[in-house]
Amino acid sequence: MDRLRVGIVGAGVMGRHYAKALREYEYAEVAAVADVRFEAAEALAGECAARAYGSVEELLADQTVEAVVVATPDFAHREPVLACLEAGRAVLCEKPLATIHEDAAAIAEAVERAGRPFMVNFGNRHRPSALKLREAVQTGRLGTPQYVYVRLNERLSKTLTIPWLARTSPVWFLMSHCADLVSWLLEQEFSEVTARVAHGVVAQTAPGVPDLCVCLATMASGCRVALETAWNLPEGFAPNIDFFVQVIGDRGVLQADLVPHDLNLYAATAGAIDHSFDVTGPRGYGAGWWQESVRYFVDGVRHGRPLRPTVQEAARVTEALVAVDRAVQTGGAVQCRGS
């Protein structure tokens, strides 16, 4: 069987999720794991019968590795992605592409120069309900889109597990999903944004990091968009995650409640345990939207198929979110680059 041999850079929470998804898929295998914390790489590699390395360079010297998943924190994608592309490897990068203009531009240039398969894992594109939403929009069933509302909120208990919490925000961790979803549904770029944040409980652990961000935006066509992201929901919030999309057109409205995830456990204690990544389908594959996105990448590399989102699409999401950050700082409307 022709399996894609994949290396994973980053042995944290997301690295483990990628390892599980790859191990479950018959057309992929985890060949190597690299992390600056060698003990973490060694532990995950041991579970996958893979080789462990203490750096990206060491992993790339392993000629059995054909593709690499970059599962480092959102602000730390540039260097490993550039190294992988320069070494001629296909790359699946955890979202978002980057958190500053310069990193996004450098990666986009490297992808074009290398000519290797590249994808940013905005996995919500693979939700069945999101696919139906997009079909309705793109086939004109709703008429001309006038307004899109996306809400993605999570519990504080999850937020506080992020080791690099002080270096991110709900804009990059959550709103990146929302911005990509809107761009993909409409096949349009963001033109202008305004945004506000509120500070509270998260700042008690990570000073300066907001509890929530609300963004009002205009797309290239003039369609209005509202994005809401909060990661301070209480432990007693039973659904564990709050994800909702509504598209209003001049001939119809379509909306989707994208939660609960595939499986949640409710016990005597407050809150819920999200087992979304643990659901296995009849063929032995992980049954979720995110796992499907990983398989889409594997199949695309194996068969030479084009992958989406392209690096240009992912870079435009970064540009929009940089503008959101700027709008928070200035209190005014900010034009997105390229608009």
Q: pLDDT (tens digit, 9 = 90+) per residue, 217-239?
A: 999 999 999 999 999 999 888 77
Q: Same domain, yes or no, for 69 and 192?
A: no
What's the rounded Cα separation, in Å, for the pair 337 and 30? 38
Binned at pLDDT 50, 70 and 90, residue 13 comes out as: very high
Q: Same domain, yes or no, for 42 and 143?
A: no
Binned at pLDDT 50, 70 and 90, residue 294 comes out as: very high
Q: Same domain, yes or no, for 86 and 193?
A: no
pLDDT tens digits, one per residue of 95-111: 999 999 999 999 999 99
Q: Same domain, yes or no, for 70 and 136?
A: no
Q: Same domain, yes or no, for 24 and 66?
A: yes
Residue 118 lies in a domain: yes
CATH assignment at residue 321: 3.30.360.10
Q: Same domain, yes or no, for 35 and 128?
A: no
pLDDT given for residue 264 in this prediction: 61
Domain that holds residue 99: 4-123+302-309
Q: Same domain, yes or no, for 26 and 172?
A: no
CATH assignment at residue 83: 3.40.50.720
Count structural domains, the chain: 2
Q: Same domain, yes or no, for 136 and 102?
A: no
Q: Same domain, yes or no, for 108 and 46?
A: yes
Q: Same domain, yes or no, for 108 and 220?
A: no
Residue 39 lies in a domain: yes
Mean predicted lDDT score pLDDT of the chain: 93
Residue 293 lies in a domain: no
Residue 277 has pLDDT above 80, yes or no: no
Residue 216 has pLDDT above 60, yes or no: yes
Binned at pLDDT 50, 70 and 90, residue 49 comes out as: very high
Residue 179 lies in a domain: yes
Q: Same domain, yes or no, for 67 and 174?
A: no
Residue 61 has pLDDT above 90, yes or no: yes
Residue 326 lies in a domain: yes
pLDDT given for residue 268 in this prediction: 65
Binned at pLDDT 50, 70 and 90, residue 288 comes out as: confident
Residue 265 has pLDDT above 70, yes or no: no
Percent of residues, the chain, with pLDDT higher than 70: 91
What's the rounded Cα separation, in Å, for the pair 190 and 32? 38
Q: Same domain, yes or no, for 192 and 227?
A: yes
pLDDT given for residue 259 in this prediction: 77
